[in-house]
Structure 1
Amino acid sequence: MPAAARVDPRTFFSPSEWAPLARRSRWKGLALLAHAWGVIFAAAAMAVVWPVTLPLAVVLIGGRQLGLSILMHDAAHGALHPNPKVNDLAGEWLTGGGLARYRAYHLGHHRFAQQDEDPDIGLSAPFPITRTSLRRKMIRDLTGQTFFKQRFGDLAHRLKTRSPGQPLLPILAEEVRRKRRWLLGGLVITLIGGAFGVWWAWPVFWVLPQATWFPVITRLRNIAEHACIARGEPDPLRQARTTRAGWIARSALAPYWVNYHCEHHMFMHLPCYNLPKAHRLLASKGMLDSMLYEPGGYPVVLDRATGRRQTPAAAASAT
């Protein structure tokens, strides 16, 4: 199947409008990385001083863990920094790693957005689903089951299917090799935390949010971006959804303007910090009605994803 249709920026923007949108700052992307880590450390410190705030810290840290993933996503598009070497170094070492592997995968998603060859099509294809099904999925997310399956599912399968007499040590050594950066980071944080009497910092302030809140908001983000969009959708303005997000949503589940996903698919090399301006310019040109835009926010998207509210296309066909 041919690649998904692309959008020409000249169709919507004059050269004077497009130039500042496409410009990549030498400091903004790095400042966002510093912000993400700053929030993580501040939330952890808050919970150390006031342990009762741990649930809030888990939400804030999980939100910034997603934020780091979003900034790695920008790096995958070469949009985190104008210098390619700085872009890739920051995207690899300051966000959690895996940039090269993610870039190859993610650019395939853009090339075939909502087409059969889209590597992410399985994330949006099942919708709408029942509220009960969504509730079960979110419970699995919050209880760490999704995290365990994604992080250790392959190891569990290899151990389960290990033939009698097959050495165990090589399997475990391979698993450590695959997760060496994650484990090394945990070791460093544990050693540093131990010097200040908080040796438990890594499991509590990194793994706990990563195993609970992060999977939930990742699922919600995926639903908002592509759920209930027709498979094979030919219109490049309707292959991804932009969702309005207030300050609470931006803090807890939609960091760094990830909610402007339609604009991102239309102009995938724009830095994330320029997406709100692109949205405002498109709105001023009367384009929001042609785009897939949900002004009702994430609650309305979830209503559509669980069949409680019709999608605009379904509602139009019913009349």
Structure 2
Amino acid sequence: MAVATRVDPKSYFAPHEWAPLARRSRWTGLALLAHAWIVIGLAMAAAVAAPGWWKLIAIPLAIVVIGGRQLGVAILMHDAAHAALHPNLKVNDWVGNHLTTGGLIDYRNYHLAHHKYAQQAEDPDLVLSAPFPITPTSLRRKILRDLTGQTYWKQRWSSLAKRIANRKPGEPLWPMLKDAAYARRRFLTGMAVTVAVTAPFGYWWVWPVLWLVPQATWLPMITRLRNIAEHACVAKDEPDPLRHARTTRANWLERAVIAPYFVNYHCEHHMFMHVPCYNLPRAHRLLKAKGVMDGMLTAPGYVSVLRTASAKAAAPHPAIAAA
């Protein structure tokens, strides 16, 4: 099996430069996670408090902000998978399992295989980048499926629906529903608690509108954009470890709604995968000062990456091709 070439930090950093980059703070990761949940809560509160027709503006804005922070919570779980959220591994894993999206151990096993075989044939995430470039029409279709909830349904619920639809005559339905409920217990618990707290005050709609809608629409779209920015159009079996992933420059608005918590520094993350996310900007600046940036895979912005990823020409119409 082809293992991706790794980077030795000593090749780029003196010991006094590397030590602060590798250091895990006892509070910064936890503060970022608190920030994510506070922003979600404030966005919900603002949408609920908006008077009259102002809700027509406040609710869509809240959906965008909340979806971005839902991705942020997942990104911080990703840091926990690298044991980078907290220096105490027990605290790191407990927080990663219980205060983020959950499923830390299974995700860690999967994700570390992605780092081990980045852009090699054995990379489990290669399927996400392999189709690119695609045509602009194909990209628009994918984004439309994301924003209309089709991607969410396919990823989260379609397998259960197929199992129910294809069950054998006389096969009981309850065990299937019980297994599905257990697998989705975090989702169902969050729904039950939120509705129980808000419904007595007339805000029963908070969970479906301000949690489920962002999760089913904005989150899948920006997750797709993040995946495209990170690895699309990177060559399979790429030997250069500075080009296994792409760093994308992000402005303040992109950081707020599609690229939270330094996720855009993905080349640096693959080069030094145990560096906490909040230290990646410093690593970026040091590498730039040392002239390393010219050899790294970077992009000036997300629009630029999308143009590159959707640069494939459409196939000619059969009648034209036959002419």
| TM-score interval (norm. to shorter) | over 0.9
The match for 1:302 is 306
Q: 1:59 aligns with which of 64, 77, 91?
A: 64
Amino acid at match of 1:55: P
Aligned equivalents of 2:110, 2:158: Cα separation in 1: 20
Quickly say closer, same or farther: Cα 1:16–1:120, change in 2 above 3 A.
Answer: same
Aligned equivalents of 1:153, 1:178: Cα separation in 2: 14
The match for 2:271 is 266
Aligned equivalents of 2:236, 2:165: Cα separation in 1: 36
Identity of aligned residues (%): 64
Q: Tell me the alpha carbon deviations over residues 46-85 of structure 1, each in whole angstroms, 9 at most, x when there is no partner.
A: 1111212111100000000000000000000000000111
Amino acid at match of 2:290: K
Stretch of structure 1 that moved more, 260-269 or 49-58: 49-58
Structure 2 residue 199 is matched with structure 1 residue 194: yes
The match for 1:70 is 75
The match for 2:317 is none
The structural deviation recorded for 1:133 is 0.4
Structure 2 residue 148 is matched with structure 1 residue 143: yes
- Following TM superposition, the consecutive aligned residue runs of length 4 or more in structure 1 with deviations greater than 6 angstroms are none
The match for 2:224 is 219
The structural deviation recorded for 1:196 is 3.2
SS at match of 1:167: coil
Stretch of structure 1 that moved more, 178-187 or 253-262: 178-187
The structural deviation recorded for 1:197 is 2.7
The match for 1:132 is 137
The structural deviation recorded for 1:121 is 0.3
Structure 2 residue 42 is matched with structure 1 residue 42: yes
The match for 2:13 is 13
SS at match of 2:235: coil
SS at match of 1:257: coil
Amino acid at match of 1:298: Y
Contact 2:133 2:312 in 1 (8 A): no
Amino acid at match of 2:97: E
Superposition CA RMSD, Å: 1.1
SS at match of 1:110: helix
Amino acid at match of 2:311: G
Aligned equivalents of 1:30, 1:290: Cα separation in 2: 33
Q: How does 1:230-309 map to 2 (within 5 A)?
A: 230-294=235-299, 296-307=300-311
The structural deviation recorded for 1:165 is 1.7
Aligned equivalents of 1:95, 1:149: Cα separation in 2: 22
Aligned equivalents of 1:97, 1:197: Cα separation in 2: 30
Amino acid at match of 1:243: T
The match for 1:314 is none
Aligned equivalents of 1:238, 1:125: Cα separation in 2: 15
Aligned equivalents of 1:254, 1:128: Cα separation in 2: 21
Aligned equivalents of 1:4, 1:157: Cα separation in 2: 37
The match for 1:106 is 111
Q: TM-score, normalised by structure 2?
A: 0.94
Aligned equivalents of 2:81, 2:209: Cα separation in 1: 29
Q: How does 1:151-170 map to 2 (within 5 A)?
A: 151-170=156-175
